Amino acid sequence: MSFSKDFLWGTSVSAAQIEGGWNEGGKAPVQVDFANVGSASSSGRQLIYKKKDGSKGQLTGAYAMFPHLPEYGEYASFDDIYYSNRKASDFYHHYKEDIALMAEMGFSTFNTSISWARIFPHGIEGGANQEGIEFYRKVFKELKKYHIEPIITLYKYDEPIYFEQTYGGWTNRQMIDEFVEFARVCLTEYKDLVNKWITFNEINVLMLFRNLPHDQKVAQKRYQELHHQLVASARTVKLAHQINPQNKVGCMIAGMCTYPLTPDPKDVMDNYKYFQDIFCYTADVMIRGQYPSFANRMWKEDGIHLETSENDWKDLKEGTVEFLGFSYYMSQCRTTHTYANTTKGNIFTGYENPYLQKSEWGWQIDPLGFKNFMHLIYDRYQIPLLVIENGLGAKDIVESDGTIHDDYRINYLREHISAMKEAVEEGVNVVGYTTWGGIDLISASTGQMEKRYGLIYVDTDDQGEGTYNRYRKDSFYWYKKVIESYGEDLD
């Protein structure tokens, strides 16, 4: 067999996109609780806030996913807006049913996140929320009942608004102490239930501001925020090993294969620099324990001066991770030439590859790029790889008999698992594969439910209308067969 019997098969979700219960159990709001619903044709969703005069303001694109409200801006709800993350898939009330369905598929692992705002609604000062702690304990015990091993992400696109309002968010060094204390509580409370952890989800996305017109103030903020997160991650890694020597802690980057659009050497160099800047800048720090040599080029280009403390460098060196998790959905092209055919893809922007097909949302489908990306990062880092997110967002139709025939999703997953299989056979050490959104959830980029990723259908729409009943799609039965055959039967 290409995959060993202890290879991890499962799915990945996030608390903010599946959980719901946004104001239950002592939980406080997070930033994405104030984002609306976009569409396939729009540029994405917006984060809606109240201006000083009471009117609506909005942040779009990357600014909506990683917001800093303008001065005098205020988080507020408007009656004419549906905030889809607030109820999401209602995992908060359906977790037992959902975990039973995972067990039916044969999952050996499940990656989800712990909502910081459920554990510390108002930071260290407000104290830990015992009701929130007990909720996740129940979830992890339910997983253990079915012999499903949790892989737990501590931070996944859900900063509590308390921290922006109190500290200004991650630009403030105080956030490091806040995060490490949150991590300490989680690592201690769930010591006997969880031993695989990821500190920050897709931590490198903070670098995507480099795709936007240069703004020195934005650049300085993003680099500083990222530095604080990297230090917080390193301290958490060290703490995890102190609390339980059996803990394994990984990092997680947003992955994507990119190609030079032309053989022009300038395009080739531009493409490699993009790989360095967007992917390696952060992964090098978390895996090698120091900033890469090309960081000096980046800081000079963007006019950056990092504010650091003397202990930061020691923490980064000592707090390196043991495995590399990543997401992969698509590929894009890069060019230094004028080229009109731009493409979409989460918050990545690039240029269309004329040799590839794309999804309804404009994401170019490229399983060979998946294999290529695994080779690139494994050759560079030589530590175990864990595929955390891989899946297809598409509209599903429920037939009159309740079936959902999602051959398009099966084809996407089949081709990518087949490419992963080839990478493993060629020497890449991949230890697990978790599809993105095994249960329908809220899309991060558009806020939609109807952009479905799940193997399990959730009966609700973009406005939260529906029964929230769960139904098995054809892909549910297909993935069950894949897992039963240890990845050998992909037909």
Residues acting as catalytic residues:
202, 389
Instruction: Report the side by side order of strands in the sheet with 350-351.
Output: 257-260, 331-334, 350-351, 342-343
Question: What is the rounded CA–CA span in Å between residue 249 and residue 419?
Answer: 26
Torsion of CA 165, 166, 171, 177, to 10 degrees: -140
**In 10 A of CB 310, how many CB atoms?**
6
In terms of Cα–Cα distance, which of 91, 110, 112 is closest to 102?
A: 110
The residue count for the chain: 491
- Concatenate the DSSP letters of all residues of 220-239 into one string: HHHHHHHHHHHHHHHHHHHH
Report residue 289 as tokens. Answer: 């324990």
The vertex-105 CA angle with 104 and 108, nearest 5°, equals 100
For 354-450, strand residue ranges (E) read: 385-389, 430-436
Report residue 344 as tokens. Answer: 């979409």
For 248-396, strand residue ranges (E) read: 248-254, 257-260, 323-327, 331-334, 342-343, 350-351, 385-389
Report residue 404 as tokens. Answer: 């959902």
Helix (H) or strand (E) holding 52, with range, is none
Q: Which residue has the tokens 């230890």?
A: 431
Q: Find all residues with CB under 8 Å of 240, minimum gap 6, and list them.
A: 183, 187, 197, 247, 249
Which amino acid, one-letter code, is at 267? D
